[in-house]
Amino acid sequence: AFTRLLRQCTVTQSFSASGLPHDNAVAETFFANFKKEEAYRHDYSSEQNFRKSADTYIHFYNEVRPHMTLAYKTPVHFEELYG
């Protein structure tokens, strides 16, 4: 059912190559942090409430929260310096 829904919405699923677990490390790290730092800490009363929370977290993650792997810079700042 999930795969059918994705096709109906013209979304293509992406999978890591077999035997290469680090292919998608950045996305895996983001979603692990999102769940731990945001999603599991709230009870959402509506889809709109969840979407607002996700948007706020994405802004925080990319523009406010320093990342150890980026020499304690935010992704936006790191991209400005080295992109």
Q: What is the 3-state secondary structure (H, E, C) of 9-32?
A: CCCCCCCCCCCCHHHHHHHHHHHH
**In this predicted model, what pLDDT tens digit does every residue of 24-70 receive, in sequence order?**
888 888 999 999 999 999 999 999 999 999 999 999 999 999 999 99
Q: What is the DSSP code string of 64-76?
A: TS-BGGGTTB-HH
Whether the model pTM is above 0.75: no
Q: What are residue 67's phi and psi, to 5 degrees? A: -115, 125
